[in-house]
Amino acid sequence: MKNIVILISGSGSNMAAIVKTAQREGWQDKFGARVAAVISNKASAGGLVFAREHGIATEVLEHQAFASREAFDAALVQIIDRFDAPEQPTLVVLAGFMRILTPAFVGRYAGRLLNIHPSLLPAFAGLHTYQRALDAGCKVVGATVHLVTAELDHGPILAQAAVPVLPGDTADRLAGRVLTQEHLIYPRAIADLLQKR
């Protein structure tokens, strides 16, 4: 079984979209894959409730309990690796996980660590993407699924979706419209990756 471990910090809407798609499309039968666990760095993350309701193992690892980023990431590795098998390496999916990961963590899961970013990378890496796009006069914004590398928001692109900027758009309006596209392209990118493994 190919295990998928999803990391969240909040409501987990992308995680929920992945879980629903995996169930609807029968990833277990089609790819021999399942969402095995959802891990959050915040006990208050709403996505944990959804995961539990869908029979998925959950873990909370509060980052404030650790003296350094390295110590937190080392503890996170131990949890993830419970779902790792030598011949079926775990796919680690960042879905609104609001932590910058250390190079050691990224290196450990190289080629199987995914993220979704709310811009058409390489444009607007980092934070406040919608406001920055509006300030720059962009006519199109979007989302990008990419493999995670040591350089923030610069890994190989797996999927993108474009969303037009409409008259009177605000950062919040754009965020809502882009999120609906994220819910479509993230599960699709994961399925494509599973199909190739």
Active site residue 63: no
Count of C-beta atoms within a 10 Å radius of residue 103: 12
176's CB contacts (< 8 A; 6+ apart) are none
Rounded to whole angstroms, how far apart are CA atoms 30 and 45? 30
Strand ranges of the sheet holding 33-40, from the earlier edge strand across to the other edge: 57-60, 33-40, 2-8, 91-94, 113-117, 140-147, 157-164
Spot the catalytic one: 54, 63, 117, 146: 117
How many other C-beta atoms can be found within 10 angstroms of the C-beta atom of residue 19?
A: 26
Q: Which residues are catalytic?
A: 117
